[in-house]
């Protein structure tokens, strides 16, 4: 298993771990351009706003972190492999038990319909992955996360590597130097996620 202090220190310096899908070897990633979600400028889509208003899902924090990270690790239809290895699952499960890693979960009845997980340090939240089995469940979980972080006074929501889904959710790319400036400011805050 990765050493927890090593993982936490890596995040403080702008790195995050990913496993190679072929051999599951973990490597450290530090993109030149970073995807972040500006918390104060975040705008909920009309569809998500409607789902939240109607209470389409029951939303919880940290109810079943293990199921969330394993669901995120499951290969998706368009991807046959995953970067979330057993070593990463074990490490983040322990980080969850230590109070650093958190999940946001959407349920429909007893069914886990979607969710996400990430790491909270100071005033920064590092989003790791999300999944859904019911349409829009991960978008609702993300919406709840953003509003929660904003209410609690977080400064940075790191989405790591830009993709079309993150762009739809409101992420923007910043250069590494700007990311590190925002990270340094965020880490000066002391905020409890829950």
The tokens for 168 are 């739809």
CA atoms in the 13 A half-sphere facing the CB of 42: 25
Burial class (CB in 10 A: 0-12, 13-18, 19+), 57: buried
- The length of the chain in residues reads 194
Q: What are the per-10-residue average pLDDT scores of the chain (194 residues)?
A: 94 96 91 94 90 97 98 80 91 98 97 98 97 96 97 97 87 96 98 95
Q: Is the dihedral of CA 176, 177, 183, 186 positive or negative?
A: negative
Angle at 84 between CA 78 and CA 85, to 5 degrees: 120
Q: pTM for this structure?
A: 0.95
Q: Which helix (H) or strand (E) holds 61?
A: strand 58-61
- Give the pLDDT confidence score for residue 177 in this predicted structure: 97
């Amino acid at each position: 298993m990765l050493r927890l202090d090593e993982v936490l220190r890596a995040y403080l310096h702008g790195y995050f771990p990913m496993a190679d899908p072929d051999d599951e070897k973990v490597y450290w990633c530090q993109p030149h351009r970073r995807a972040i979600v500006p918390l104060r400028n975040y705008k909920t889509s009309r569809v998500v706003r409607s789902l939240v208003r109607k209470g389409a899902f029951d939303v919880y924090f940290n109810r079943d972190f293990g199921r969330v990270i394993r669901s995120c690790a499951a290969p998706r239809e368009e991807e046959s492999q995953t970067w979330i290895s057993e070593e990463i699952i074990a490490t983040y499960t322990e980080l969850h038990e230590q109070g650093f890693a958190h999940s946001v979960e959407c349920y429909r009845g007893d069914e886990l319909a979607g969710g996400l997980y990430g790491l909270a340090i100071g005033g920064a939240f590092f989003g790791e992955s999300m999944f859904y089995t019911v349409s829009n469940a991960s978008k609702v979980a993300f919406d709840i996360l953003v509003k929660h972080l904003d209410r609690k006074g977080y400064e940075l929501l790191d989405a790591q590597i830009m993709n079309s889904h993150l762009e739809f959710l409101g992420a923007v790319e910043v250069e590494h130097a700007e990311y590190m400036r925002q990270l340094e400011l965020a880490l000066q805050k002391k905020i409890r996620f829950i």
